[in-house]
A and B are shown apart, each in its own frame.
Chain A
Amino acid sequence: MTFELFIFYVFATVTVASAVVVISSRNPVYSALALVLTFFSCSGIWMLAEAEFLAIVLVLVYVGAVMVLFLFVVMMLDINIAVLSQGFMSYLPVGVGVALAVVAEMALLVGSKYFGADIIPPPERHVAEYNNTAELGNVLYTVHMYAFEIASVILLVAIIAAIVLTLRKRPLTRYQSPEKQVAVRREDRIRVINMKAETEE
């Protein structure tokens, strides 16, 4: 076994083990943390496949942002864990059955018959200067330009959807607005009134 293969098996084992924890843990916070570990080890596997940019984006976006939001939600929300895990045992046989069926089907496919080295030769290892990010960039902004622009429209719709669904105006909240405080002039606050001195009659 080469060193690389060894590393792959380490990452693969961690991925599967932490994925099992994600679905079996009773505490959603543990699940979320285990999912972080799953993403990390997945990113290791992608790195072994020389997809360095994707590996780093997985850590940056999923671990850095999405999972933090996730943790934020599950830690802060008032979730009744006991209710959530109800019915787990009754669904278990069905779930295991489906999982076994899928595993059996995948085993049929992902063998050497269809994905063997003689049918799909392993890609050549690249030299040290090889830059996967540059390869990606070379096609993403040119050949796949159309798809790239659609992606930005999807992000725009996500912005609109998030705001439509959550933003509420609260007219009654009181808050300071620093720009108004700074822009205040003397005339706004003080009125000088000339009054005749009161004289005793």
Chain B
Amino acid sequence: MLENYLPVLVFLGVGMAIGVLPIAMGFLLAPRNPYSEKLSPFECGFEAFEDARMKFDVRYYLVAILFIIFDLEIAFLFPWAIVLDEIGMVGFIAMAVFLGILVIGFIYEWMKGALEWE
């Protein structure tokens, strides 16, 4: 089975090389002459006013968490789709119930207004 994944391994290796080599080469070959002014963040000629980090609205996280939940749900669909002809009606209904329960969650979040940005 693993031989099917040899191309993926080669791909990983090549991807790694393409990612690492230019940085390594730049690091080794390019002239480097850092000084503090050069390393400071550039903000239109001003001193940086504040830290780039700041408090974000919790709604961003809510959307992200809701996304993850439905992402997980989709992960369950892949094996199901592959074996649907073998597991028959039982498997179909099992998935229907699974999705039904999550649809209730979906209705809840919709009605609650969690999907609206206001």
A interface residues (Cβ-Cβ under 8 A, vs B)? 4, 7, 44, 47-48, 50, 52-53, 57, 60-61, 64-66, 68-69, 72-73, 75-79, 125-128, 130-134, 136-138, 140-142, 145, 148-149, 151-153, 155-156, 158-160, 162-163, 166-170, 173, 175
Contacts and interface: CB of A to CB of B under 8 A. Distances in A.
Interface in B63-118: 64-69, 71-73, 75-76, 78-80, 82-83, 86-87, 90-91, 94-95, 97-99, 101-102, 104-106, 108-109, 112-114, 117-118
B1 interface: yes
Given A141-B79, A173-B118, 13 more contacts: A44-B12, A50-B1, A66-B68, A68-B64, A76-B55, A76-B60, A77-B56, A134-B82, A137-B86, A141-B95, A145-B94, A152-B102, A155-B72
Nearest to B105: A159
A128 B79 contact: no
A142 B65 contact: no
Question: For chain B, what secondary structure do more than half of its interface residues adopt (helix, strand, loop), or is it mixed?
Answer: helix
| Most interface-central of A60, A61, A79, A163 (chain B CB within 10 A) | A163
Contact of B98 (A76, A127, A148, A175): A148
A128 B82 contact: no
B62 to A, nearest CB: 5
Contacts of B56: 76-77
B2 A166 contact: no
Contacts of A169: 113
Interface string B1-28: 1111100010010000000000000000
A133 B78 contact: yes
For the complex of A and B, list the 10 residue pairs with the smallest distance between their C-beta atoms, beginning with the closest.
Answer: A137-B79, A137-B83, A159-B105, A141-B91, A152-B101, A152-B98, A156-B105, A130-B1, A126-B1, A76-B56
A142 B56 CA distance: 44
16 contacts: A76-B53, A76-B55, A77-B56, A141-B79, A141-B90, A145-B90, A149-B98, A153-B101, A155-B73, A159-B69, A160-B108, A162-B66, A166-B62, A167-B113, A170-B118, A175-B118
Contact of A137 (B66, B87, B108): B87
Contacts of A50: 1-2
B97 A78 contact: no
Given A126-B1, A142-B91, A149-B97, A78 B83 contact: no
A133 B59 CA distance: 35
